[in-house]
Structure 1
Amino acid sequence: MKNDKAETIFDIRGIRVSFDTPDGVVEAVRGIDMQVSAGETVAVVGESGSGKSQVMMAAMGLLASNGRATGSVTYRGQELIGLPRRKLNRIRGAKITMIFQEPMTSLDPLYTIERQISEPLRVHGGMSAGEARKRALELLKLVHIPDPERRLKSYPHELSGGQRQRVMIAMALANDPDLLIADEPTTALDVTIQAEILGLLAELQQKLGMAILFITHDLTIVEAFADRVYVMRQGLVVEEGATEDIFQRPAEDYTKMLLAAEPEGHKPPVPDGAPILLDAMKLSVTFGQKGGFFSSGFELKAVQEVSLTLRKGQTIGIVGESGSGKSTLGRAILQLLPSEGRVVYQGTPIHGFDRAAMRPYRRNLQMVFQDPYGSLSPRMTVGEIITEGLLVHEPWMSQKEREKAAVRSLEEVGLDPATRNRFPHEFSGGQRQRIAIARAVILKPTVIVLDEPTSALDRSVQKQIITLLRDIQERHGLSFIFISHDLAVVKALADYTIVMKTGQVVEEGPTDAVFDSPGSAYTRELMEAAFNLKTVLERQATARA
């Protein structure tokens, strides 16, 4: 926690960041000031595009090649802007370190965890290979990685999301930094894993006495974790102050909007007599491989005899931690994965159908994925992406008719049809998710499986997507299977909820009943981490003391 007399160790003055683009110069940051004191936790919040990450990238000398930074950033009095790379490298990675949002893009898939942690130790700490290995093992124990000796030899893809983030923290702490910059380090993690990572950072901060600069759009985390807050919008700081003041007495309309942008609303349950569209009975999915002469086989039961019944107009929310099997279940229902059990769609058993047999059913059984940037072809225009399904399912349509359908679909999801000739990278994350929804809706399906469609979005954009999904569902009588680790979103959107853990259903029922009176200890743990994070962190701190 901040000491009012603590020394300012990181001082940003009048920083500006701009990028040269084919359309001219884009100003991402337009002259801002920030300070961080020793041992303090400071949060920088704002919507995507507010410039919060670019400030730190500029300070660390990590801007893209078309980026430029002006102004002043000092660490303990030493200017960092314009500092030669050789001198800058003595500070970053040693005195100032950074954790990025997605560890899979930051960790090298070809190197073991030991090699990746050891590298900064050898470069900045001058350690030998043996010393670096010993320190790497200490760090994995420090961040509570299970079976750390074995994990040293693991590769990133062999670890869970929470474990990979712990490895990133271990790498950042390798040389006992003075300042840790954490850029959206918990966005893609489940609520219980979020609480564990935040508790770990608080524990390490107390033990090492380091300052933390936390960049996030999750205000629940900020309220529970930060001493002070800077609120950014369109490259400017619009408000700053103590966390309690910002949350209890926000001065700016934009800050008030961010604080009010929590998912809200309530979906009434469908009538008991509503037609059944889809029945999944005792679905099981097992991953594994046979052992060879030099290796033993393994078997993972990802989904174990899960059943659900989806009615017309209903939204079933499926929640649980990473590895609970919720996404695997969604893919198995749509016959995108081999599975055991039965799936019946409108009276027709479709379980075991191959790709050709499923083709007539694909237009009615659609899926929207978590990362639209990964599921939208970068080589196709938005118009081509949205109408691609029509070429398969309605090949008799003329190009003009497909164009009209694309225009209607884009208008329905709140996008300007004039943008249909642009490419996915020219849109924001929220806009790309709308494009993915438009691609599904244009085929007039009856069932849409939505796999974490809002987890990487700002709360204000989440709220817009939830409203959009409600409107589309009501307009077309759609049924949704909504897979998410964000319980606040599920509570606002689903009328029936299934809670999964390690491939099994631990609890299910009407959403109000599950949220208001959870029957299992696991569900109660999820609820507390989602809605009472501050209490969870306080309990962790008491346990550490």
Structure 2
Amino acid sequence: MAEPVLAVRNLHVRFRTGDGILHAVKGIDIDVNAGETVAIVGESGSGKSQTMMSVMGLLASNGWAEGSVKYRGDELVGLSPDKLNRYRGSKLTMIFQEPMTSLDPLYKIGDQLALPLTTHGGLSKAKARERAIELLELVRIPDPARRIDSYPHEMSGGQRQRVMIAMALANSPDVLIADEPTTALDVTVQAKILELLADLQKRLGMSIVFITHDLGIVRRFADRTYVMKRGEVVESGKTADIFATPKHPYTQMLIDAEPTGRKEPAPANAPMVLEAKDVQVVFGLKKGFLGKTGHVLRAVDGVSLSVRAGETVGVVGESGSGKSTLGRAILRLQTASGMVRFEDRNLMPLDRAGMRPLRRHLQLVFQDPFGSLSPRMTSGEIVTEGLLVHEPSISRKERDRRAAQAFEEVRLDPAWRNRFPHEFSGGQRQRIAIARAMILHPKLVVLDEPTSALDRSVQKEIVELLRDLQKAHGLAYVFISHDLAVVRALSDEIMVMKSGKVVERGTAEQIFERPKEDYTRDLIAAAFLTQRDNAEAKGQSLAS
């Protein structure tokens, strides 16, 4: 049998923490053969990302790996960064889970794409720029010749993730490690990216290690699968066999996990919390040496919405549709025109000082949790940061008590509040971000992709948590997401956005059962393709 391209043997990963040594990965073995796709799945904190971070030599400074990682027979564990760089970026590349923290905010997208091409590919700056435009076109970035000069903050979350994919593919690597590469992407783009990766793999003979919590993607995409739980591999084998006859109860639980149920409707006499009318956000895109405006982008074009206490308005649409910009605009975090009224106050005339007393009532949970959590603060300090501003008179002991309570509410161990953000998985960091918003007991929360980094089983818990908090406190939610299963489970009303406009709106039942627009039908079809595939697979298994 041919030697694996990547062979992991008896790998252990440990971290020094304030609570002692954390044993994140416990003696696992993984093989990746030439041209195959291997999936590593498991819940947040299972050790799947840290396994591959150790392969790349990218563990945090308080972490270390023991065991063996061989690339085509060459040992990687223990190599210096200089020697590892002979492999990283050319032979082994990685797409990271949170693109905003991986892209330098001070450099244009084109400059960052060109770096691996000049460093590892030996291209000139001019040739690297040409290749960078080709890569942006390859990953479906609109108008790549213009967007190559954009900065990361000028792109949506999904577009930033596509830039990361382009960067990883720049030098046609031998092994591509993809850590939740479609997490930030809407369902239609997700399908295109998977098709793209499959095509590149076939054309280049590339091996792919796919780290994900989305088992629907795994079933369609992976040849073999490793299931991890608490740092150990509990089941492995051919993907088709694992889905047809899972042997471990944990694997069965992952396969069955899906947000279920519907939220209770808000009371008919519930007070209006927020009302927005004809909201518009316009960006003047610069062009030319003197920075003159080239053309105008209407990111949000005349959108209206209203949210009552205890009600959830879901906002869905593809990347770049304007849904996240709308969320920032109604919180007055983005310059906009139109009318935004919170309870009995018009927010539009208020300056920064005028908005400050209202901030505790208007909270936002960001899409990229690692980018919004300070690496220099413990998670407990992050969660209670708002209390220092809005309740400065309470004691440190009381803040710590409320931090512990907030951790319990989002299903995290309160003892973990002394850990730093990098010591948590992506899903755990998102729960910290939710706790930070909820600790102030707001009246309106804009949730911008709050479950995008979470595995399905944790998504179910978060959906139930958000429902419970909403019912207990009469919270109003604006829930922005590309995950239609989660939106359906949480929303009373759904708005479908495309190119800055609302193309359809209605109750959750109307949108999912009787969509009127082709665009809405396409979103639903892409989102539930996985469910149909799984149902068909179960039917075939029963029939046989």
- Is TM-score (shorter-chain normalized) higher than 0.5? yes
| 2:4 match | 8
The yes-or-no answer on 1:51 pairing with 2:36 is: no
CA drift at 1:247: 2.0
**Structure 1 residues without counterparts, runs of 5 or longer:** 537-545
**Bigger shift: 433-442 or 507-516?**
433-442
Q: Identify which of 241, 244, 258 aligns with 1:245.
A: 241
Alpha-carbon deviations, 1:172-228, whole Å to 9, x = none?
A: 333333322212212122222222211111111122222211111222221221111
Identify if the C-alpha distance between structure 1 residues 533 and 293 changes in structure 2 by more than 3 Å, giving closer, same or farther.
same
Paired amino acid for 1:508: R
Paired amino acid for 1:97: T
Q: Whole-Å Cα distance in 2 between the matches of residues 410 and 534 of structure 1?
A: 32
Identify if the C-alpha distance between structure 1 residues 6 and 140 changes in structure 2 by more than 3 Å, giving closer, same or farther.
farther
CA contact (8 A) 1:448 1:478 kept: yes
CA contact (8 A) 2:282 2:300 kept: yes
Q: Whole-Å Cα distance in 2 between the matches of residues 66 and 398 of structure 1?
A: 32
Alpha-carbon deviations, 1:437-480, whole Å to 9, x = none?
A: 44444444433222222212222222221111111112222222
**Bigger shift: 92-101 or 406-415?**
406-415
Paired amino acid for 1:195: A
Q: Whole-Å Cα distance in 1 between the matches of residues 155 and 457 of structure 2?
A: 31
The yes-or-no answer on 1:171 pairing with 2:167 is: yes
SS at match of 2:451: coil
Q: Whole-Å Cα distance in 1 between the matches of residues 69 and 384 of structure 2?
A: 48
Q: Identify which of 275, 288, 299 aligns with 1:302.
A: 299
CA drift at 1:514: 0.5
CA drift at 1:415: 5.3
SS at match of 1:481: strand
Q: Identify which of 361, 367, 390 aligns with 2:364.
A: 367
Identify if the C-alpha distance between structure 1 residues 450 and 414 changes in structure 2 by more than 3 Å, giving closer, same or farther.
same
Identify if the C-alpha distance between structure 1 residues 113 and 421 changes in structure 2 by more than 3 Å, giving closer, same or farther.
closer
CA drift at 1:264: 1.2
Paired amino acid for 1:512: E
The yes-or-no answer on 1:519 pairing with 2:516 is: yes
Alpha-carbon deviations, 1:510-533, whole Å to 9, x = none?
A: 101101222111111211222215
The yes-or-no answer on 1:480 pairing with 2:467 is: no
Q: Whole-Å Cα distance in 2 between the matches of residues 68 and 350 of structure 1?
A: 50
**Bigger shift: 191-200 or 138-147?**
138-147
Q: Whole-Å Cα distance in 2 between the matches of residues 294 and 302 of structure 1?
A: 24
CA contact (8 A) 2:13 2:26 kept: yes
**Structure 2 residues without counterparts, runs of 5 or longer:** 534-544
Q: Whole-Å Cα distance in 2 between the matches of residues 18 and 399 of structure 1?
A: 32
Paired amino acid for 1:231: V
Q: Whole-Å Cα distance in 2 between the matches of residues 85 and 384 of structure 1?
A: 33
Could you state the TM-score of these two structures normalised by the residue count of structure 1? 0.85
The yes-or-no answer on 1:493 pairing with 2:490 is: yes
Paired amino acid for 1:264: T
CA contact (8 A) 1:338 1:352 kept: no
SS at match of 1:471: helix
The yes-or-no answer on 1:264 pairing with 2:255 is: no
Q: Whole-Å Cα distance in 2 between the matches of residues 218 and 250 of structure 1?
A: 16
Q: Whole-Å Cα distance in 1 between the matches of residues 286 and 162 of structure 2?
A: 31
| 2:58 match | 62
Q: Whole-Å Cα distance in 2 between the matches of residues 92 and 294 of structure 1?
A: 39
CA RMSD of aligned residues (A): 3.5
**Bigger shift: 280-289 or 205-214?**
280-289
The yes-or-no answer on 1:192 pairing with 2:215 is: no
Q: Whole-Å Cα distance in 1 between the matches of residues 18 and 419 of structure 2?
A: 14
CA contact (8 A) 1:223 1:534 kept: no
SS at match of 1:8: coil
Alpha-carbon deviations, 1:127-179, whole Å to 9, x = none?
A: 45555455545544544544444455555445444444444334333333332
Q: Whole-Å Cα distance in 2 between the matches of residues 203 and 45 of structure 1?
A: 22
CA contact (8 A) 2:17 2:419 kept: no
Q: Identify which of 179, 183, 196 aligns with 1:183.
A: 179
Q: Whole-Å Cα distance in 2 between the matches of residues 518 and 154 of structure 1?
A: 35
CA contact (8 A) 2:45 2:424 kept: no
SS at match of 1:200: helix
Q: Whole-Å Cα distance in 1 between the matches of residues 311 and 75 of structure 2?
A: 58
| 1:341 match | 338
CA contact (8 A) 1:269 1:510 kept: no
| 2:539 match | none
Q: Identify which of 305, 319, 322 aligns with 1:322.
A: 319
Q: Identify which of 523, 526, 530 aligns with 1:529.
A: 526
Task: Report 1:201-220 matches (<5 A).
Answer: 201-220=197-216
CA drift at 1:507: 0.9
CA contact (8 A) 2:101 2:371 kept: no
Identify if the C-alpha distance between structure 1 residues 284 and 401 changes in structure 2 by more than 3 Å, giving closer, same or farther.
same
Identify if the C-alpha distance between structure 1 residues 150 and 31 changes in structure 2 by more than 3 Å, giving closer, same or farther.
same
Taking only the aligned residue pairs, the percentage that are identical comes to: 65
CA drift at 1:250: 1.3
Identify if the C-alpha distance between structure 1 residues 296 and 479 changes in structure 2 by more than 3 Å, giving closer, same or farther.
same
Q: Whole-Å Cα distance in 2 between the matches of residues 254 and 376 of structure 1?
A: 31
Q: Whole-Å Cα distance in 2 between the matches of residues 217 and 437 of structure 1?
A: 20
| 2:542 match | none
| 1:254 match | 250
**Bigger shift: 5-14 or 260-269?**
5-14
Q: Identify which of 11, 26, 32 aligns with 1:36.
A: 32
Q: Whole-Å Cα distance in 2 between the matches of residues 186 and 325 of structure 1?
A: 19
Task: Report 1:333-482 matches (<5 A).
Answer: 333-376=330-373, 389=386, 412-414=409-411, 429-430=426-427, 432-482=429-479
CA contact (8 A) 2:263 2:491 kept: yes
Q: Whole-Å Cα distance in 1 between the matches of residues 35 and 115 of structure 2?
A: 26
Q: Whole-Å Cα distance in 2 between the matches of residues 402 and 507 of structure 1?
A: 44
SS at match of 1:246: helix
Identify if the C-alpha distance between structure 1 residues 136 and 503 changes in structure 2 by more than 3 Å, giving closer, same or farther.
closer
CA contact (8 A) 1:282 1:306 kept: yes
Identify if the C-alpha distance between structure 1 residues 17 and 288 changes in structure 2 by more than 3 Å, giving closer, same or farther.
same
Paired amino acid for 2:218: V
Paired amino acid for 1:233: K
| 1:541 match | none
